[in-house]
Structure 1
Amino acid sequence: MEENYKSLKIEQKSPDSRVFYLFINRPSRGNALSHDFFTEFPVALSSLDQNPEVGVIIISGSGNHFCSGIDLQTLNSVSQDTRSADSGRAGEKLRRGIKFSQQAVTAIEECRKPVIAAIHGACVGGGVDIITACDLRYSTENAFFSVKEVDLAITADLGSLQRLPGIVGFGNAMELALTARRFSGLEAKELGLVTRLFSNKEALEKGVAEIAEGIAAKSPLAVIGTKRVLIQSRDLTVDQGLDYVATWNSGVLISDDLTEAISAQRQKRKPLYAKL
């Protein structure tokens, strides 16, 4: 990938791999989210989504942490920037800024390719917003989490309050968001926020890479369809969800991937699918 980002780094660790890594890359600041992040992140995701070489995206953090939340300098600049205008214009401008930042996180769900969060160290505030939008979440045992916004006199507004209840349950989400307490990787696993724990960062990287490679080897049509139908069905009734998947499959079910999958099963070999 040729793009140069201030807050991110993209890596393909093996030239033959269809797994690409998107690192939040401000290790000296604990990967705190700057204004550059919210501009660059959806652009980077879109470039990976449109790249036919990419099958799966792993989001991780450079250095010792996944993400320590919104950069306080960025937060302070937003506060100062709206104080000079009248209250109506300041409020309208702030709303546009919030919607802009929200879209950067929602870009994870809008990405066709599966997005996996590999979490180590701190995952705080905006970090929780990011991982709750990811399709799969894995963590080290010593990672720690916090829905931190109330401690900064903020109502979390980038997605945690909307997505977290569907992952850990309404009551658990309410407790975590109101207390802003720090909780461990073990508790995150018990709550269902992460699917699996790994003993350390190296084990996390190896284990998540194996999972991602397994997904990347599957039919890309089936993978992107599964992601899209699950996300859409989250907000639909069962009947509406069934209707949506019927419409989806009517367009993509009959494909070369299906023919190859059946042939591979019969011949007892691994299927080989065309890139998407």
Structure 2
Amino acid sequence: MATKLSQFETLILSKKGGVAELLLNRPLKSNSINGNMWEEIPKAMRLADNMGDVRVIILKGAGRHFCAGIDVSSLAQFMVANKDLGEGREQEKLRRDIKEMQASFTAFEECRKPVIAAVHGACIGAGVDMITACDIRYCTEDARFSVKEVDLAITADIGTLQRLPGIVGEGIARELALTAREFDGQEAKDLKLEHINFAHA
């Protein structure tokens, strides 16, 4: 039986033997990423990384979907909050915020233990950013993916544009980023983004 190590507002970190599990825990919001989750991910990863008996970390999503990307409602609040800063200060604040979001996912990449993403259901936008920072990615056959940012008129600059080309190749990464088309687990396997290897319980 897994032992719950720490419960954050948006995550649950647990351990069974030498395996730590980090669960994205906003199932009613399809595990979309809000401000708290951005802050909590690097804290949870540091905690797991510093456990001497942990050998591997598995990243999963609670509920029907792995991650639906950035929580659009929190993104709208963020844009309104920055609006009164003036154009120069607004742009500088946006740059700092994006750097912090990038650092949140870089915590997966910098972890000294292997991090395995176990994807089921939707993995959209920032969800793709997240899994590209992991060492290994597995998915169910019914998983579906999209580099969605272009549909929101924003750039996939939290990690996808930096990491995806090294996984699937430059041409495919550009096509996925520019079209935002959805693709399934089998195509993800064909593109070498994912391995289809587990059944979601």
Q: Same fold (TM over 0.5)?
A: yes
1:201 aligned onto 2:200: yes
Q: For residues 23-50 of structure 1, what are the alpha-carbon distances to aligned partners after superposition, in whole Å with 9 as ceiling and x for unaligned?
A: 0000000000010011100000000000
Corresponding pairs, count: 198
* 1:120–1:142 contact (8 Å) kept in structure 2: yes
**Residue pair 1:189, 1:197 contacting (<8 A) in 2 also:** no
Once the two structures are TM-superposed, the CA of residue 82 in structure 1 deviates from its matched residue by 1.6
Three-state SS of the structure 2 residue aligned to 1:84 is helix
One-letter code of the match for 1:11?
A: S
What is the alpha-carbon distance in structure 1 between the residues aligned to residue 172 and residue 70 of structure 2?
Answer: 23
Normalising to structure 1: TM-score of the pair? 0.70
Cα separation, 2, equivalents of 1:182 and 1:65? 15
In 2, the alpha carbon distance for the partners of 1:144 and 1:115 equals 20
Aligned to 1:177: 177
Is there any run of 5+ residues in structure 2 with no aligned partner, and where?
none
Q: Distance in 2 between matches of 1:20 and 1:51?
A: 9
**1:43-82 alignment runs, 5 A limit:** 43-82=43-82
Aligned sequence identity (%): 53
Change (3 A) 1:2 1:190: closer
Query: Equivalents in 1 of 2:96, 2:200: separation in Å?
Result: 37
Note the residue ranges of structure 1 that are not aligned, 5 or more in a row. 203-276
Render the CA deviation track for 1:239-265: whole Å, top value 9, x for unaligned: xxxxxxxxxxxxxxxxxxxxxxxxxxx
Task: Specify the SS of the correspondent of 1:94.
Answer: helix
1:89 CA drift (Å): 0.7
CA positional deviation for 1:196 = 3.2
The reply to whether residue 143 of structure 1 matches residue 146 of structure 2 is no
Contact 1:185 1:197 in 2 (8 A): no
Partner of 2:156: 156
- Which of structure 1's runs of 4+ aligned residues deviate more than 4 A? none
Secondary structure (helix, strand or coil) at the match of 2:175 reads: helix
Aligned to 1:186: 186
Alignment of 1:1-276 (within 5 A): 1-12=4-15, 14=16, 17-198=17-198, 200-202=199-201
Match of 1:222 in 2: none
CA distance in 2, matches of 1:28, 1:50: 31
* RMSD across aligned positions (CA): 1.0
Relative to its length, the structure with more strand (as a share) is 2
In 1, the alpha carbon distance for the partners of 2:197 and 2:183 equals 14
- DSSP-derived class of the 2:106 partner: helix
CA distance in 2 between partners of 1:194 and 1:51 (Å): 27
CA offset at residue 189 of structure 1?
A: 0.1
Distance 1:58 1:94 in 2: 31
Deviation of the 1:2 alpha carbon: 4.1
Q: How far did 1:175 drift?
A: 0.5
Q: Distance in 1 between matches of 2:5 and 2:167?
A: 35
> Is contact 1:145-1:183 (8 Å) kept?
yes
Question: How far apart in 1 are the matches of 2:64 and 2:196?
Answer: 20
Larger Rg: 1
Whole-angstrom distance in 1 between the partners of 2:29 and 2:133: 23
Q: C-alpha separation between the residues in 2 aligned to 1:112 and 1:164?
A: 21
Does structure 2 retain, via aligned residues, the 8 Å contact 1:150–1:180?
Answer: yes
